Amino acid sequence: MAQSLSVNHYPNYAMTLTGQGHVMATPDLAVIRLGVQTTGYNVSEIQSENARISQRVIDALRQAGITEIKTIQYSIDKVYAYEDGKQIDKGYSVRNILEIKTSNIDQVGNIIDTAVTMGSNIVISISFELSDPELYYEQALNLAVDNAIGKAKTISTNLHVRLNPIPIRIIEGGSASPFPLRQLQYDVAATPILPGDLKIEAFVTADFLYMK
């Protein structure tokens, strides 16, 4: 009865290679995290103030056509300062952090300006993402397999051996999170935002059989 070949059965007739592939993509989704922080000694008053300003920010953004807005953090913290080695009570801090998503990348600067104008005093982060990252990752994964096969062909040619170009095993090595190739530019006066392109990477390890 015929037995299937494996790397363990024929260690001298196998090679293990890594492959890497990447694709470039233009982000089509912006995620902005910003919010309102209020401080004071009366918790009820600063909570009310925070709620009023936050609602004003939300209403202005909705009027601008932004529909994906949600609270991702709400906290009330005691605030202390240290003077001459003594702990001084500085009251409380209330933070309400919103997450805003938009597919209109060109409006990110305007979104920030609108929020700040309405009272937002915290900008946590601005990130640019892909609405369907799996599509690009699959492309990068195919390129990674092609890269491993290309290496195997080159090595087999140099060694003058016969190669089976179809890998007998492929292990997906994971992916690198998409990252921008250019840094964000943030100018308080005009708030220009430059997202740049994203690089999506994939890695594989592949086993190939060959004959001398």
Taking 50 as the pLDDT cut, the residues of the chain under it are 1-8, 10-11, 181-190
What is the pLDDT at residue 31?
94
Q: What CATH superfamily classification does 11-27+132-211 receive?
A: Protein of unknown function (DUF541), domain 1 (3.30.110.170)
Domains 11-27+132-211 and 29-129 share a fold: no
What is the pLDDT at residue 200?
93
Q: What CATH superfamily classification does 29-129 receive?
A: Protein of unknown function (DUF541), domain 2 (3.30.70.2970)
What is the pLDDT at residue 6?
40
Segments making up each domain of the chain, as ranges:
11-27+132-211, 29-129
What is the pLDDT at residue 8?
45
What is the pLDDT at residue 99?
97
What is the pLDDT at residue 180?
52
What is the pLDDT at residue 178?
60
Place of tokens 């003077």: 83
Model confidence, pTM:
0.72
User: For 132-141, which contacts have Cβ atoms below 8 Å and span 24 or more sequence positions?
Assistant: 133/178, 133/200, 136/23, 136/25, 136/178, 136/200, 137/175, 137/200, 137/202, 139/21, 139/23, 139/200, 140/21, 140/22, 140/23, 140/175, 140/200, 140/201, 140/202, 141/21, 141/172, 141/175, 141/202, 141/204
